[in-house]
């Protein structure tokens, strides 16, 4: 035994627990002095997992005392980073997702990514990382042809992204969830945004379990409540006294102009009622046609 590993591993028969609603198949094995159990919803999954344990034990592979699994499994998980997996998840969703949902996925993954990045030298600024991820990294069509400066940022992300398996630690998974459901200033995001980002992350982790990168979904096991919607009025969305006065004055000016239009004071130059001043070049219709008969021709008065 060295470096937290041992070759003392035994695999037992699978236990079947029949509950009132579901049946659980529990694979049991022992690593060192500790008995381990892993539950599955169907027999096929349990048999597959048990067979893999038996194969590793018969090959004489080392088992981790911390996780109870063959160390080779941990090395395989470490081969895929968070960024590589996140891109694979985007690509898997891309074809069926609407344009709006593609943007939602990119935003949620971008919000979660800082937790999985190392604090290494020459790290780009946070704004550059977010821009590169949203517009290119987490965009299936744009990822392969980013501008030169964006390519440098994404290259840094590739080389400094933590392994996906790090999310098996509850503390890291919690930090990611908090980061993805909050705002950049550390305050709570809108309830709808927080719920949407949490759902996308949980779906992504389901995909990681499906691919065998994680044993369980680290997001779904965390207790989480969406932030409450505040009933307090945001002062920034209400006009201040100066703006209110300006609005009232504008309304008053509009009403005054409307009254003038109705009176005919300023309607395309048309004179108002009661006014007999003709426009330039226009004959006054109220003037008497002196000396003109019904036909409009000049005539003489008859005695």
Look-up of token digits 């500790």: 34
Sequence-separated (6 or more) residues with CB below 8 Å from residue 215: 38, 168, 209
Q: Is the pLDDT of residue 267 over 60?
A: no
Same domain, 150 and 192: yes
Helix, strand or coil, per DSSP, at residue 99: helix
Same domain, 53 and 100: no
- The predicted-structure confidence for 32-64, as pLDDT tens digits, reads as follows 999 999 888 888 888 988 999 999 999 999 999
CA-CA distances (angstroms) from residue 27 to 2, 140, 217?
26, 39, 18
Nearest to 130, CA basis, from 108, 111, 158: 111
Q: What mean pLDDT comes out for the span 150-158? A: 94
Of 23, 41, 70, which residue is a domain's last?
70
Residue 12 lies in a domain: yes
Q: Which segments of the chain does DSSP mark as H helices, in order?
A: 43-58, 71-78, 82-94, 99-112, 126-132, 148-159, 170-180, 191-211, 241-263
- The predicted-structure confidence for 74-90, as pLDDT tens digits, reads as follows 766 557 899 999 999 99
Q: What mean pLDDT comes out for the span 205-216? A: 90
Confidence of residue 297 (pLDDT cuts 50, 70, 90): very low
- The predicted-structure confidence for 15-31, as pLDDT tens digits, reads as follows 998 888 888 899 999 99
Nearest to 36, CA basis, from 22, 59, 57: 57
Percentage of residues of the chain with pLDDT beyond 70: 79
For the chain, the average pLDDT equals 82
Q: How far is CA 142 from the centre of its chain?
A: 18
Same domain, 88 and 187: yes
Of 40, 70, 100, which residue is a domain's last?
70
Of 211, 246, 273, which residue is a domain's last?
211
Q: Report how far residue 78's alpha carbon sits from residue 166's, in angstroms, rounded to the nearest whole number.
A: 8
Pair of tokens at residue 122: 């020459």
Please give the pLDDT value at position 205.
Answer: 95
First to last CA, the chain: 144
Into how many domains does the chain fold? 2
Same domain, 187 and 103: yes
Residue 222 lies in a domain: no
Pairs from 115-119 (Cβ < 8 Å, separation ≥ 24): 115/172, 115/175, 115/176, 115/179, 116/81, 116/82, 116/83, 116/161, 116/162, 116/166, 116/176, 117/157, 117/160, 117/161, 117/162, 118/160, 118/161, 118/162
Please give the pLDDT value at position 262.
Answer: 65
Helix, strand or coil, per DSSP, at residue 227: coil
- The predicted-structure confidence for 215-246, as pLDDT tens digits, reads as follows 899 999 898 887 775 555 566 677 788 888 88
Same domain, 94 and 32: no
Nearest to 112, CA basis, from 224, 199, 214, 211: 199
Residue 281 lies in a domain: no
Same domain, 11 and 123: no
Q: What mean pLDDT comes out for the span 259-273? A: 57
Same domain, 142 and 207: yes
Same domain, 93 and 152: yes
Please give the pLDDT value at position 39.
Answer: 85
Please give the pLDDT value at position 281.
Answer: 53
Same domain, 98 and 169: yes
pTM for the model stands at 0.54
DSSP 243: H
Same domain, 107 and 162: yes
Please give the pLDDT value at position 278.
Answer: 53
Please give the pLDDT value at position 44.
Answer: 85
Q: Is the pLDDT of residue 283 over 60?
A: no
Q: What are phi and psi of 298, to 5 degrees?
A: -70, 140
Q: Residue 139: which domain range?
A: 82-211
């Amino acid at each position: 035994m060295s470096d937290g590993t041992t070759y003392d591993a035994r695999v037992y028969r699978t236990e079947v627990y029949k509950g009132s609603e579901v049946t659980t198949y529990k694979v049991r094995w022992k690593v060192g002095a500790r008995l381990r159990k892993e539950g599955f919803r169907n027999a096929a999954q349990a048999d597959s997992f048990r067979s893999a344990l038996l194969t590793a034990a018969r090959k004489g592979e080392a088992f981790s005392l911390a996780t109870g699994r063959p160390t080779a499994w941990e090395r395989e998980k470490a081969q895929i980073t968070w960024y590589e997996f996140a891109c694979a998840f985007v690509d898997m969703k891309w074809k069926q997702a609407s344009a709006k949902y593609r943007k939602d996925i990119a935003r949620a993954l971008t919000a979660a990514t800082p937790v999985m990045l190392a604090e290494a030298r020459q790290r780009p600024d946070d704004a550059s990382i977010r821009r590169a991820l949203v517009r290119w990294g987490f965009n299936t069509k744009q990822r392969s042809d980013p501008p030169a400066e964006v390519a440098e940022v994404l290259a840094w992300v590739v080389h400094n992204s933590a392994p996906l398996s790090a999310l098996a630690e509850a503390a890291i998974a919690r930090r990611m969830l908090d980061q993805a459901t909050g705002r950049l200033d550390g305050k709570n995001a809108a309830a709808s945004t927080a719920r949407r980002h949490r759902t996308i992350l949980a779906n992504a982790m389901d995909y990681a379990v499906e691919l065998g990168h994680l044993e369980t979904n680290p997001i779904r096991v965390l207790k989480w409540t969406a932030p409450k919607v505040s009933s307090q009025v945001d002062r920034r969305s209400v006009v201040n006294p100066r703006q209110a006065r300006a609005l009232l004055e504008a309304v008053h000016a509009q009403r005054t102009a409307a009254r003038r239009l109705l009176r005919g004071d300023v309607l395309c130059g048309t004179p108002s009622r009661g006014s007999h001043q003709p426009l330039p070049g226009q004959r006054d219709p109220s003037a008497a046609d002196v000396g003109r008969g019904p036909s409009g021709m000049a005539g003489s008065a008859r005695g």
